[in-house]
Structures are given as structure tokens and as C-alpha cells.
Amino acid sequence: MQELFCRLVSTPSPSGQEADVAKLIMHELSRRGVTAKQDGSKAFTNSNSGNVIATIPGGKRRLTFIAHMDTVEVGDRRIKPTVRGGVIRSDGSTILGADNKAGVAPLICALGEIVQMSKRPTVTGIFSTREEQGTMGVGYLPKGNNGDLVFVLDSEGDVGGFIHKALGSRLFDVEIIGKEAHAALNPEKGANAVKAAGLIITSLKLGRRSHSSILNIGMISGGRKRNIVPGSATLSCGARAFDEKTIRSAINEVDAAAKRACKATGCRYRIRMITDDGAPTFEVNPDSSVVKIARSAAKNLGLKFSISSRMATFEANILAAKGYRPLVMCHGGKLPHSTSEVLKVSDLAATKSMMVELARLSA
């Protein structure tokens, strides 16, 4: 599996360009006797590959594993993995790509073992596209059944750890409309949109607002020329929280701040929600069957079981909105999206064993 992992990370697959790694995955699955095909999500995601869907027929219970194929891009350099002392690293100039090939490699091998099991559930393995940006491949998946067991392999943290709750996010722009005027001849005729933007920013509590809520203004643009009173400005905002109500109240607060700022400066504003991005909130009850089976699998393998929330957003958020009841599974990788990203070789086997055990328990 270590060799397979190294081959997967050496095959570039930035978001939207997963075709090469998809081909490698399909080849590795077919070698193990697992049937797989690509779905029609290409047109939907603008990726050069569809999601790879592997299916293993079995009993009534349905079990699905999902691992995204894409990685965040750090330059055009190839990832060169090195293994030393049981730890896999890049050469230090790129990410390693354990996010998410530390999910992909064990999933291929687990499916190869599950297909040999005489008693097994119906298992689907989904290798998805464009998780890291833009329209996500999982957005194309059909509506789910909340009786199905779904595990999303996509988190740092020790194997045996699961995530049942993650942040939802809403992205929006505050567009401020002022009035241009000559900066020297008749500034009093203008309405300064950049000043309104400044007032909005200074009156809000930004960053971490509570243990469960985040508000960020990530970009500000406005004005046209040094000698013109700025007639327009835009603030690009994002609100995140574990529940929709908290997200809504953060947006309302921005709205109220914009109203006050515009009143003071003679500007107008509108809030424009960005619909194709952001994510719904995600939470699975810790008493649900998917959590129970995860706990049993960890116990049977002698791994420490844990369930927690995470200040992050996953494919699980999209799946939950589609009616699935997914859990995010930790696969051991550490420091994702950085050149210091690492993975222990032993985590590959532990992640694979976890999936095989989940299949055995749900047969």
C-alpha cells in the first residue's frame, strides 16, 4: 500500500485535473476484481474527469466510502515522496498529498479485500473530483437514503477518530453604492463608498466570534482614481457556524452595520449572496447507527475511538443536505495543505483495516 500511495501522490491531480489519477485508480481497482466506472459529473464540475464509482454487490445493507482524488496545488512541481523511519514526506518543496491520497490508497485496497468476502454488504466506493475548490463532484451524486452507512475519508487525526459535526458556510458580498465627485472641486457632492466600507469593518466583531462561529471579510475593493471620491466599494464576506441560525444572525449583523454606515455616508448598499459556493451545516446524532458501527469497528481493531466536531467544512456537508447521514473518518495525515504534510506508513494499513471491519460489521 505504501508503494501504491507513493504512485498516487506522484500522479498530479490538482482540482479539475483528476483524469490521470482517475485512470490509475480504475486500473488498480480492475486488477483487484472491482468494477468501476466514471459518472457524468464532468459537465457539472468542469473537471477533466468524472467521479470514479466502484460498486461491489452484496447484501441488503448499503455501505459507501468516499475519498476525493484532487489535491490543493502548490506550484507545478511534481510531488516526490520519500519514506524514512516509517514516515512519508514530500521533498519539502510541495505538499505531500496525503489529503486526500491517504484516503484513496486504503480505499482501493479495502475494496480489493471486500470483494473477496463471501458475506458482505452492498459497497460503493466513490473517488470524487474537485473537493478542494469550486463545484464539488459530490454535488452531482444522487439524493441519499439516511439508512445507508456513509463514511467520508478526509481528515487529519488518528485513525479511530470520526467527525460528526462541521461548519456550514455562507459567502456574500456587501456592495456599496456611493456617488463619485471631484476630490478637490466638489467633494461635498460625493458619497464616499470606501468610507462606508471602513465604518462597516470597524463596527463588526470579525474572526472567531464564539467557540462555534466565524465571520471574515477577506477582500475589500473600491474606488477608481486618486482624485475622485469613491463611488463604489465591495466587501467579500464569509460567515461560518455549526447551525444555520448563527450564520443567519452574523449576516444580519453585517446588514445592520451596512445600514448604519450607509446612513452616515449617504451611500446605498445591497447584500449579494453567492449561491454556488458555501456549504450547508452538517451534524449527525452521536446515538445514530453509523456512529455505533464506527465505535464497534475501532474497538475490534484495538484503536482509540473518538467522535468530535471540527471547525472545517467537508464533502459530508453537501452529502448531509442531500439526505445522507455521513461520518468523516480520520486517516492519519498531518498538516494538510502545507509543505510539512506527513503521513505514517502504519496509518495506511489502519485506515484500510477500519473500512474492511466496517464492511464485516455491516454484512
322's grid cell? 442531500
Cα distance between residue 200 and residue 178, in whole Å: 14
Task: Tell me the three cell numbers of residue 26.
Answer: 480504475
Identify residues 144-173 at the interface with Zn ion (CB under 5 A): 154
Q: In 10 A of CB 339, how many CB atoms?
A: 14
Which of 17, 38, 64, 100 binds Zn ion (CB under 5 A)? It is 100
Q: Is 83 helix (H, G, I), strand (E, B) or coil?
A: strand
Residue with cell 439508512: 147
201: enclosing H helix or E strand: helix 193-203
Cis peptide before 100 (omega within 30 of 0): yes
> Least distance to Zn ion from the beta carbon of 341, Å?
11
Task: Report the nearest approach of Zn ion to the CB of residue 338 (Å).
Answer: 13
**CA nearest to 186, candidates 140, 228, 130:** 228
Cell, residue 312:
472545517
Minimum gap (Å) between residue 108 Cβ and Zn ion: 17
- 66 vs 199 by CB, closer to Zn ion: 66
CB of 129 to Zn ion, least distance (A): 12
Per-residue binder mask for Zn ion (CB under 5 A), 254-293, x = binder: ----------------------------------------
Task: Work out the burial of residue 72: count CB atoms within 10 Å of its CB; fewer than 13 is exposed, 13-18 middle, 19 or more buried.
Answer: middle
Question: Is residue 313 a contact residue for Zn ion (CB under 5 A)?
Answer: no
Q: Closer to Zn ion at the Cβ: 39 or 341?
A: 341
Q: Which is nearer to Zn ion, 100 or 232 (CB)?
A: 100
Touching Zn ion, residues 37-96 (CB under 5 A): none
Span near Zn ion by CB under 5 A; candidates 39-47, 99-107, 237-245, 315-323: 99-107
Residue 99 within binding range of Zn ion, rule CB under 5 A = yes
β 62-68/149-155 pair status: parallel
Q: Which amino acid is present at 252?
A: N
Residue closer to Zn ion by CB (options 100, 353) is: 100
Query: What's the min distance (Å) between Cβ of 273 and Zn ion?
Result: 25
- 340 in the Ramachandran plot: left (φ > 0), alpha (ψ -120 to 50) or beta? alpha
CB 132 to Zn ion: min, Å: 7
CB closer to Zn ion, 100 vs 169: 100
Q: Closest approach of Cβ 235 to Zn ion, in Å?
A: 28
The answer to whether residues 313 and 167 touch, using CB atoms and an 8 Å cutoff, is yes
Judged by CB under 5 A, the number of residues near Zn ion is 3
Between 90 and 246, CB nearer to Zn ion? 90
Query: How far, CA to CA in Å, does 178 sit from each of 47, 181, 189, 202, 268?
Result: 40, 10, 11, 19, 6
Q: How far is the CB of 155 from Zn ion (least distance, A)?
A: 8
Task: For Zn ion, give the closer residue by CB, 100 or 128.
Answer: 100
Q: Is there binding between residue 357 and Zn ion (CB under 5 A)?
A: no
In the bound state with Zn ion, the residue whose beta carbon lies nearer, of 307 and 312, is 312
Calpha distance 220→235 (Å, rounded): 5
Residues that bind Zn ion (CB under 5 A): 99-100, 154
